[in-house]
Amino acid sequence: MQHHIVRTSFALAGVGALALAGCASTSPASDSSDGEHTVSIALDWSPNTNHTGIYVAKELGYFDEAGIDVEILPYASTPVAQLVSAGEADFGIVGQSDVQTSRAAGLDVVSVYSIVQSDTGRLVYLADNEDISSPADLDGKVFGGFGVPLYSAFMASTIQGAGGKGEFDEVMLDTGAYEALKNGSIDFTSSVMTWEDIEAEIEGHPYAAFRYQDYGVPEQQAIGIASSDAYLESNHDDAAAFVKAVQKGFQYAIDNPDEAADLLIEANPDVLGTASELVHKSTELMATDGYYYADGVTVGAAVPEDWNALGDYIVEIGYLVDSNGEKITESPDWSEYYTNEFVE
């Protein structure tokens, strides 16, 4: 399994061009044969535990009870934010940073549900590499990257937060992360600890990891569901029904992680039929360790402090651009980038 299996797309290069296609042309919700309104959601990658609540809601009939017929669109090469903005999907799996960069660049995208309440990303290296005991030890080393500028920024900030310079070489991974680490072609990379790190442990290749937030990188609600202002304005009731059903699905996963994992596998036997241990361990972790929920936060709600902090960080490091590709130097009103209307 390749290292990037559960990553949401994050592309600064070309975002301005995508904005040209971002004028949403959303028509009123279509009706299915039984009178239910059809609602679509685009996945950001192959089905995994970031999507559990959606499949739970579908399998247990929560969408049917809400009067909507939900079509889950498989992962495609087009960035999900673009699909949502163009009205080709009513909802999509779009992470916090994706929403912030895409909307700033002119796409019609707004977060309506926060699936993962904290950052699941980690800086990882081989557990038996005795030369690394601090991120500062990675100065001058080789980072296995993915062509995603924000990941590189997280690496540099983490190293600097540990007292290093944040200077390293970056190469694009063309093989699995463990293989690249083991053969010495890279020294460190980024991973998703709720999936890839568990997978590595199951396979007997555990990583050692540093958490970005321990070294000054702001917290973020890593994965979420976004829609467009155009769709929400034209289909308010369907949007409310959809988000409430998803919220119910993720609450079920929090309360019943084993059963939720089984439902996810049963809905995707071709993809996950041989990954039962991984799916169950990942679901259990996300349900019990503050990922599907956070203390004091309504399940699925956006946390304003996290949106402000990460957004301001992206501006500060010079990665936020407008629809013309020009650098944005002052933070916009981040409260316009998400809504908690449907989860509270």
What per-residue confidence (pLDDT) applies to 7?
41
The answer on 197 and 333 residing in a single domain is: no
The answer on 28 and 102 residing in a single domain is: yes
Which of 143, 43, 158, 24 is CA-nearest to residue 95?
A: 43
Instruction: Indicate whether 53 belongs to any domain.
Output: yes
The answer on 274 and 225 residing in a single domain is: yes
Boundary residue ending a domain (167, 193, 215): 215
Q: Encoding tokens for residue 321? A: 């651009």
Q: Encoding tokens for residue 261? A: 């994992």
What per-residue confidence (pLDDT) applies to 35?
61
The answer on 207 and 129 residing in a single domain is: yes
Instruction: Indicate whether 342 belongs to any domain.
Output: no
Boundary residue ending a domain (186, 215, 244): 215
Supply the pTM of this predicted model: 0.89
The answer on 298 and 271 residing in a single domain is: yes
pLDDT for residue 3 is more than 90: no
Rounded Cα distance, 263 and 281, in Å: 14
What per-residue confidence (pLDDT) applies to 206?
85
* Residue percentage of the chain with pLDDT more than 90: 83
Boundary residue ending a domain (183, 215, 247): 215
CA distances from 110 to 3, 238, 276, 305 (A): 28, 16, 33, 17
The answer on 146 and 93 residing in a single domain is: no
The answer on 130 and 153 residing in a single domain is: yes
**CATH number of the domain bearing residue 286:** 3.40.190.10
Range of the domain at 41: 15-118+221-337
Give long-range contacts, CB 8 A cutoff, 24+ apart: 134-137. 134/162, 134/163, 134/164, 135/159, 135/161, 135/162, 135/164, 135/210, 135/215, 136/162, 136/163, 136/164, 137/164
Confidence of residue 24 (pLDDT cuts 50, 70, 90): very low
Q: Encoding tokens for residue 15? A: 């975002």
Rounded Cα distance, 318 and 326, in Å: 10
Q: Once rounded to an integer, what is the mean pLDDT over residues 86-113?
A: 97
Confidence of residue 147 (pLDDT cuts 50, 70, 90): confident
The answer on 255 and 274 residing in a single domain is: yes
pLDDT for residue 264 is more than 60: yes
Instruction: Indicate whether 10 belongs to any domain.
Output: no
The answer on 114 and 229 residing in a single domain is: yes
Instruction: Indicate whether 9 belongs to any domain.
Output: no
The answer on 316 and 241 residing in a single domain is: yes
Instruction: Indicate whether 88 belongs to any domain.
Output: yes
CA dihedral 83, 89, 94, 100 (to 10 degrees): 60
Task: Give the count of domains, the chain.
Answer: 2
Rounded Cα distance, 256 and 100, in Å: 32
pLDDT for residue 221 is more than 80: yes
Look over the chain and give the mean of its residue pLDDT values, rounded to a whole number.
Answer: 90
Question: In this predicted model, what pLDDT tens digit does every residue of 148-193 receive, in sequence order?
Answer: 889 999 999 999 999 999 999 999 987 788 889 999 999 999 999 9
Question: In this predicted model, what pLDDT tens digit does every residue of 43-83 receive, in sequence order?
Answer: 999 999 999 999 999 999 999 999 999 999 999 989 999 99
Backbone angles phi, psi at 254, to 5 degrees: -65, -40
From the CA atom positions of the chain, what is the Rg in Å? 20
The answer on 146 and 232 residing in a single domain is: no
What per-residue confidence (pLDDT) applies to 243?
98
What per-residue confidence (pLDDT) applies to 32?
53
* Residue percentage of the chain with pLDDT more than 70: 90
CA distances from 330 to 90, 107, 313 (A): 30, 18, 11
